[in-house]
Chains A and B, each alone.
Chain A
C-alpha cells in the first residue's frame, strides 16, 4: 500500500496568495483528518471527514480556511488569503472506522 500521499511537500508563498494542499488517503479508509503542527501550538485537528462528509470543522481557525473531499480518494485544504501565521506543517491522516490513524508525510507551508 502506498500510504497517505500529500502534495506538495513544501510550499513557499507570499502573504495574500491562495494555497491549496492535497491529500490522497489510503484506499478503503473512510475517515480523513487534517491537522496542523507548529512549535507554539503543537498538533491541532482542523477538520475531519467520514465517507466524504465533513463531520467536525470546529478546529478550522477562521473563514480563510476551507476543506473539501469530493470523493473517497481525494481531499483539499485551501487557505485564501494566506497569512504568515499560517506557516506550519499540515498533515493529512486516514483511518478505517475508529481504528489507527495513518499519517502522510506532511506539507511544510511557509507564508512570507
Chain B
C-alpha cells in the first residue's frame, strides 16, 4: 500500500540555520505530494505541494522537489526563523487510495534564537 516516511523529530536548530526534513514515499503510479505545517494550538495548513515529477513546490521560503527516481520530497529552507517552530507533515494523495491523504508521522521543528 501507499505510505509516507518522515525523519523523526524533534529537529532542533539555531536561527538562520539551513533546514532539511526528509520525506520518502511508497506509491504506485504518480501521486501528488504535500507538506503541511501545524503551529502550536492550530490546525494543519498547506505549506506547499507538487503534483508531478520534478515539480518544485515553494512557499514562505520553504521548498521541496518531487523526485520520482528517489521517491522523495524533502523539505528545505535556507535560513530558519524562530517563527518556523512547528510540526511539519509530509503527505501523498494517489488515485488507488481514492485520493485520500496518506500522512507521515510528523516532524517537530524547534528553532532556538
Contacts and interface: CB of A to CB of B under 8 A. Distances in A.
Q: Do A and B bind each other?
A: yes
Interface of A: 4, 33, 42-43, 45, 48, 55-56, 91, 93, 97-98, 100-106
B66 to A, nearest CB: 15
Question: What DSSP secondary structure best describes chain A's contact surface?
Answer: strand
B43 A106 contact: yes
13 contacts: A42-B103, A43-B103, A43-B106, A48-B100, A91-B43, A93-B44, A97-B99, A98-B93, A98-B99, A100-B34, A100-B46, A103-B43, A105-B43
Interface residues of B, number: 17
Contacts of A97: 99
B26 interface: no
Contacts of A105: 42-43
A4 B101 CA distance: 18
Question: What DSSP secondary structure best describes chain B's contact surface?
Answer: strand
Contacts of B89: 43
B7 to A, nearest CB: 15
B19 interface: no
A37 to B, nearest CB: 9
B98 interface: yes
Nearest to A103: B43
